[in-house]
Amino acid sequence: MTDYFHLNADPDQILAISSLGLAHLGDGVFELMVRSWLCLHGKATNKGLHRATVSYVSAPAQARMTEKILPLLTEEEQGAFRRGRNAKPHAIPQASSREEYQTATGLEALFGWLYLRGETGRLNELFAAMMEG
């Protein structure tokens, strides 16, 4: 049985996943991390948890936070980020610019890529750097 909480996918399997597929997975990983962070840090009451989560997972917020980690990325991680950033989305939400949306998609693809590789320690490092300050 596959343990979906502790993955270590084959590199060829990961390459076979589309950029938008990686971003789709990474979106869920990032949102779960944000929700966990909010609950553990008492940052929002029950009533405001959804609103607080949205304030972190929106494309403009993700784009701003991504700037904090870009200098920390390895060459391989930069490749995963670029792969997502350069994907051609079907539509861009009105609340974000094309650049913000592409940056957010790059972040999500990076998080999906790291998750599939089983690099949870690295995910935690990057997430902590994003959430500082």
User: What is the predicted pLDDT for the residue at 110?
Assistant: 98
HSE (CB half, 13 Å, CA atoms) of 71?
3
Structural tokens at position 68: 């904090």
For residue 133, what pLDDT band results from cuts at 50, 70 and 90? low
Give the C-alpha separation, 100 to 64, whole Å. Answer: 8
Structure pTM? Answer: 0.93
CA distance 42 to 4: 27
Confidence of residue 2 (pLDDT cuts 50, 70, 90): confident
- CATH classification code of 11-131: 1.10.1520.10
Cβ atoms of 69 and 126 within 8 Å: the answer is yes
Q: Where are any strands of DSSP class E within 70-129?
A: none
Segment 20-71, tens digit of pLDDT: 999 999 999 999 999 999 999 887 677 788 889 989 999 999 999 999 999 9
* Domain residue spans of the chain: 11-131
Residue appearing with tokens 């909010």: 38
Say which of 3, 10, 12, 27 is annotated catalytic: 27
27 is catalytic: yes
Q: What is the pLDDT of residues 93-115, one digit of tens each?
A: 788 888 999 999 999 999 999 99
Work out whether the CA dihedral 130, 51, 115, 89 comes out positive or negative.
Answer: negative
